[in-house]
Amino acid sequence: MCESVIRLKNINFSYGNRQILKNVHLDIKRGMFMGLVGPNGGGKTTLIKIILGLLKPDKGSIHLLNQPMEHFKDWNRIGFVSQKANTFNKGFPATVFEVVSMGLTAKIGYFKFFKKHHKQKVLSAIKQVGMEKYTYQNIGDLSGGQQQRVFIARALVSDPELLILDEPTVGIDYKNVEHFYELLHDLNKNNQLTLLLVTHDTGVMTKYATNIACLNNSLHFHGNSDEYTALSTEQLSQIYGHPVQAVVHDHD
Ligand SMILES: Nc1ncnc2c1ncn2[C@@H]1O[C@H](COP(=O)(O)OP(=O)(O)OP(=O)(O)O)[C@@H](O)[C@H]1O
């Protein structure tokens, strides 16, 4: 585990004159499952937008897959699943197959012919997330947890090396959240997919993430999940800037 997939150095960012990120350093190595946690408004989504090139930092440098951000063009090597993905309503007129196919358009272009091997890729991504039974069902008829699996399949279909997820379990019930983390764990371990996950599910996440970073404008903690779970309630409260009750699941 030595090659950096994301390397952030001294990132500073402000909205107007309100500083949101201060001297953020973060090094995510290939094969890590990094959980990014922190209080509301701590700057997690802002940092993800900076990594995705949607916002430009005031200061600092970003390397993605060993390339400086200014020259980075391999966006199909990075997948993204947002918290807003699971908002399809009943009756939305697209099947699981069609939604997952959209993940290939960046690679093959809108008007290029969809070949047989593309179809195979889509079917295999759907299978990877355990949704093959629903391939030709409308996405709007699925539960929030199932829809999020479909969005993961859409991100996986272009074979990314890094998957970034911003609060993907919002609105998913507890039992399905656990299954969702099992899927992420499986993709990380068996497919060597590097993961960066923004979440408030600190309990369940610590069971699966290899590393945890806590962002509260600056990075207040960065270590492996054992180091995070060993933090006392007082230390956690200090990191979060308000009282925190630790909820930690056993590793089994
Ligand atoms: N476009 C914007 N313009 C001005 N301020 C913004 C904008 N987007 C976010 N903010 C503010 O920046 C701060 C950081 O927001 P951000 O969404 O990055 O935090 P977060 O850690 O992801 O929070 P949460 O856990 O609640 O999702 C918040 O106070 C937010 O209100």
Do the bridges between strand 59-64 and strand 67-68 make them parallel or antiparallel, or are there none, so unpaired? antiparallel
Mean pLDDT for 74-96 is: 79
Residue 110 confidence (pLDDT) above 60: no
Residue nearest to atom 16 of ligand 1 (CA): 43
Task: Please say whether the beta carbons of 66 and 116 come within 8 A.
Answer: no
Average pLDDT for residues 97-114, to the nearest whole number?
75
CA of 176 to the centre of ligand 1 (A): 27
Structural contact between residues 79 and 155, judged by C-beta atoms closer than 8 angstroms = yes
200-205: long-range contacts at Cβ-Cβ below 8 A with a sequence spacing of 24 or more? 200/37, 200/167, 201/169, 201/177, 202/35, 202/37, 202/246, 202/247, 202/248, 203/247, 203/248, 203/249, 204/177, 204/178, 204/249, 205/35, 205/37, 205/181
Is residue 165 within 8 A of residue 198, CB to CB? The reply is yes
Nearest CA to ligand 1 atom 29: 41
Atom of ligand 1 nearest to the CA of 167: 27
> Is residue 46 in contact with ligand 1, taking CB distance under 6 Å?
yes
Which atom of ligand 1 has the smallest separation from the CA of 38? Answer: 21
Asked if residue 220 has its Cβ within 6 Å of ligand 1, the reply is no
Q: How far is the CA of 220 from the centre of ligand 1 (A)?
A: 18
Q: What CATH number labels 4-87+161-240?
A: 3.40.50.300
Q: Reply yes or no on whether the pLDDT at 43 is more than 90.
A: yes
Eight-class DSSP state of 167: S
* Whole-number pLDDT of residue 215: 94
Distance 121 CA to ligand 1 centre (A): 36
| pLDDT tier at 248, thresholds 50, 70, 90 | low
Task: Give the rounded percent of residues in the chain with a pLDDT score beyond 70.
Answer: 90
Determine the atom of ligand 1 nearest the C-alpha atom of 198.
Answer: 22
- CA–CA gap between residue 65 and residue 215 (Å, rounded): 22
Mutate which of 11, 13, 14, 20 for ligand 1? The one with the most ligand atoms within 8 Å of its CB, which is 20
Distance CA 1, CA 16 (A): 38
Rounded distance, CA 140 to CA 227, Å? 41
Q: Which pLDDT belongs to residue 237?
A: 84
pLDDT for the residue 140: 87
Q: What is the pLDDT of residue 88?
A: 66
Q: What's residue 214's pLDDT?
A: 92
109 pLDDT more than 80: no
* CB 84 less than 6 A from any atom of ligand 1: no
Alpha-carbon separation of residue 4 from 7, 222, 234 (angstroms): 6, 15, 32
| Amino acid code (one letter) for 140 | G
For residue 89, name the pLDDT band (cuts at 50, 70, 90).
low
Mean pLDDT, range 213-240, rounded to an integer: 86
| Tens of pLDDT, residues 169-203 | 887 777 788 888 998 999 999 888 999 999 988 88
